[in-house]
A and B are shown apart, each in its own frame.
Chain A
Amino acid sequence: NAGVTQTPKFQVLKTGQSMTLQCAQDMNHNSMYWYRQDPGMGLRLIYYSASEGTTDKGEVPNGYNVSRLNKREFSLRLESAAPSQTSVYFCASSEQTGGAWEQYFGPGTRLTVT
């Protein structure tokens, strides 16, 4: 199993450009998440999808949109990139084990907006 995969690994955008970050998981998990990681800020939830067909805002959704394409795939779109969106983006999926939802993370996408 590949687990959670993300593409691309690195991306440089100019202010105002758009792009979509792709995420796929092969573990048959229902729930998927998008986080951003900034130095000294930990991980902050952007959007999540509790199950196929549903999406909800997290802590920092402004400037982003998501699509839960099917059970495997959950994409994150930046419509008009801003320098404040320079960050490392992580996708995760989760399953319930012993009552708790364990999250499995992808390797991340490093995005720089100039």
Chain B
Amino acid sequence: AQSVTQLGSHVSVSEGALVLLRCNYSSSVPPYLFWYVQYPNQGLQLLLKYTTGATLVKGINGFEAEFKKSETSFHLTKPSAHMSDAAEYFCAVSDSGLSGGSNYKLTFGKGTLLTVNP
């Protein structure tokens, strides 16, 4: 079984400040990890994903995340927040399938609402 914990249901930053959204996962098998963004009244869009290889992954809109196996974390960062980054962000985990399991299902965290103040 897999689970995701997003620390902080609401994060508020000033425009130009660092964005840090925290995600910890639990998985008994090697995981694949994802960050999705949801703008108001829209569906979810993929920001970035980690599968294998380089543990620092870059996504769209200047976001990046680092997979840290020892800490079971996949935190999302952006050096400088922009007003357009205001949205809800979801971390998700799937089975990698490398141990024989199926990997087409995602388990989502509860989400973190990012507010950007002018």
Contact = CB atoms under 8 A, between A and B. Distances in A.
Are these two chains actual partners, yes or no?
yes
Interface of A: 4, 31, 33, 40-45, 48, 50, 58, 90, 92, 94, 96, 98-108
A42 B104 contact: no
Given A40-B9, A105-B43, A108-B43, A100 B103 contact: yes
Contacts, number: 64
A105 B45 contact: yes
Interface string B38-82: 000111111001011000000000000000000000000000000
Interface of B: 9, 32, 34, 36, 41-46, 49, 51-52, 90, 94, 96-97, 102-106, 108-111
A53 to B, nearest CB: 15
B105 A48 contact: yes
29 contacts: A4-B43, A33-B105, A40-B111, A43-B44, A44-B108, A45-B105, A48-B104, A50-B102, A50-B104, A90-B43, A99-B51, A99-B52, A99-B97, A100-B34, A100-B51, A100-B96, A100-B103, A101-B94, A101-B104, A102-B34, A103-B46, A103-B106, A104-B46, A105-B44, A106-B43, A107-B42, A107-B43, A108-B42, A108-B43
A99 B42 contact: no
Given A31-B104, A102-B49, A40 B44 contact: no
Contacts of A50: 102, 104
Nearest to A59: B107
